[in-house]
Amino acid sequence: MQDNKTELNVSASVIEKMAEIAACEVEGVTGLSKKAIDIKGTFKTKSVFKGVKAESINGAIEITVYICVDKNAKVREVAEAVQANVKDKIQTMTGTAVTKVNVSIADIYFADEKEAE
């Protein structure tokens, strides 16, 4: 009998997009950072900065997410929720183990007080 297994390969940019969507689903996250945090990475890549970095290491995925949080959010709870959601979504969608999700709080969003009035 023949074994009909197929292999799934997902590019790093697609995994980064999945992680971006998963991170933004968490309450308290206002978006991803647009600031360049790693100067070395800025010169190596074509784009100035992405808010998500995904690496495949020994068949597993490590993800770093740079998020902006709302000024009223509990940062620790938001970061933990982002870690859990990103890990769950990536593992579910790709079937590949996610060994680490690093969350960096890159900015805090303050709504313009004049907007509220």
The pLDDT value given to residue 63: 95
CA 3, chain centre distance (Å): 36
The pLDDT value given to residue 69: 95
The pLDDT value given to residue 61: 93
The mean pLDDT values, 10 residues at a time, for the chain of 117 residues are 68 92 96 68 56 90 95 95 97 93 92 56
Q: Residue 64: beta bridge partners?
A: 53, 102
pTM above 0.95, yes or no: no
Helix or strand (DSSP H, E) at 103? strand 98-109
Distance CA 112, CA 87 (A): 33
Two tokens at 79? 């970061």
Going from the C-alpha of 60 to that of each of 43, 51, 87, 97, the distances in angstroms are 26, 20, 11, 5
The pLDDT value given to residue 114: 43
List the domains of the chain with CATH numbers. Answer: 12-35+45-116 (3.30.70.1350)
